[in-house]
């Protein structure tokens, strides 16, 4: 075989292909409902790019409501009580202060498709996967971290031979981003599934792990003093980057041969040379995030329909 006829060493996987596999699951769930689910989005600050077009998917109804930010609190409370509304999203930032966190907690846990309510966040970090003892109501996870999990499942990084909850055991993963919205939740999810995760930001490197032999029920966090990308990237068979802004360029020379690389930033963190080292490269995840949002909406409706104890919105960690 000549050099020209050799297959490319790197497979580029597009988000649209991955989203199709999830669309089938969502379609099957929709077929069991008596009406189209209604998702309401509140827009109170037109700062930045708002991506809501994907929410207008077949089988769903979407209503974008532009409101004054001073009226948003009342609008959320009214939507909580509106029986016709199945799910609520709010486009942040609004006040760019702790007021935004307050608004996140106003959304009824039974309508929070973004998984930002305290109960969902608590469950995620504590590795609690259900809302009820009967394990009929699944806890909701934040959309972007969950989208990346679904991408890793699609790429067969998750080992289905292993028990559910341990299927990343043996994998080392670097996540370049430790924001409270995506990076930290993602590191926790991957570590709770058994991976050794190196979480990187401008302050340094933290290791998320369930300990030797993943014997601990939930992840723990260890500071890796003095570590940088130079230390953790060569150890990692998966590298996930989501650094905002055009200035950051991931140092692909550090990549392990055959690593899987995923970019979730709106900018291209990886240059074209990533294809010389990576075995699989996912350049964007937007379409998967959108279908995961709709999947979360469907999951909330399924939770409501279940015969288990209803979700009451309380945040008691003992539940």
Alpha helices in 55-133 (DSSP H): 72-81, 98-106, 118-126
Catalytic residue among 10, 75, 143, 261: 143
Q: Positive or negative CA dihedral for 224, 226, 227, 231?
A: negative
**CB distance 262 to 151 below 8 Å:** yes
308: Cβ–Cβ under 8 A, 6 or more apart, which residues? 131, 132, 134, 136, 137
Please give the structure tokens belonging to residue 67: 């409101």
Q: Is 141 helix (H, G, I), strand (E, B) or coil?
A: coil
Q: First and final CA of the chain: distance in angstroms?
A: 62
Please give the structure tokens belonging to residue 29: 């769930």
Alpha helices in 200-274 (DSSP H): 229-232
Confirm whether 143 is a catalytic residue: yes
Q: Strand pairing partners for 196?
A: 172
Please give the structure tokens belonging to residue 180: 């409270």
247: Cβ–Cβ under 8 A, 6 or more apart, which residues? none
How many residues would you count in the chain?
A: 319
Q: What secondary structure, in 3-state letters, does 188-209 show?
A: HHHHHCCCEEEEEECCEEEEEE
Q: Strand pairing partners for 112?
A: 88
Among 74, 184, 66, 64, CA closest to 125: 184
CA 90/CA 112 separation, integer angstroms: 10
Active site residues: 143
């Amino acid at each position: 075989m000549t050099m020209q006829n050799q297959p490319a060493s790197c497979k580029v996987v597009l988000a649209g292909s991955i989203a199709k596999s999830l669309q089938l699951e969502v379609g099957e769930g929709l077929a069991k409902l008596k009406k189209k689910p209604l998702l309401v989005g509140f827009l109170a600050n037109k700062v930045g790019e708002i991506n809501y077009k994907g929410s207008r998917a077949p089988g769903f109804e979407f209503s974008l409501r532009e409101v004054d930010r001073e009226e948003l609190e009342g609008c959320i409370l009214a939507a909580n009580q509106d029986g016709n509304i199945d799910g609520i999203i709010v486009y942040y930032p609004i006040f760019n202060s702790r007021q935004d966190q307050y608004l996140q907690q106003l959304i009824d846990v039974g309508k929070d498709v973004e998984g930002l309510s305290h109960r969902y966040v608590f469950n995620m970090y504590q590795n609690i996967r259900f809302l009820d003892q009967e394990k009929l109501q699944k806890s909701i996870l934040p959309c972007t971290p969950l989208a990346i999990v679904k991408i890793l499942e699609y790429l067969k990084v998750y080992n289905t031979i292993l028990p559910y909850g341990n299927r990343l055991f043996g994998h080392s993963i670097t996540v370049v981003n430790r924001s409270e919205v995506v990076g930290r939740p993602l590191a926790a999810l991957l570590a709770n599934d058994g991976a050794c995760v190196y979480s990187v930001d401008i302050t340094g490197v933290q290791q998320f792990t369930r300990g030797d032999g993943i014997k601990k029920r939930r992840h723990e966090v260890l500071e890796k003093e003095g570590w940088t990308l130079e230390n953790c990237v060569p150890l990692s068979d998966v590298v996930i980057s989501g650094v905002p802004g055009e200035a950051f360029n991931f140092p692909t020379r550090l990549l392990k041969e055959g690593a899987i690389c995923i970019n979730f930033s709106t900018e291209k963190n990886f240059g074209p040379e990533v294809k010389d080292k990576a075995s699989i490269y996912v350049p964007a995840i937007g379409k998967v995030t959108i279908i995961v949002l709709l999947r979360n909406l469907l999951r909330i409706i399924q939770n409501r329909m279940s015969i288990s104890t209803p979700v009451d919105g309380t945040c008691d960690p003992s539940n």
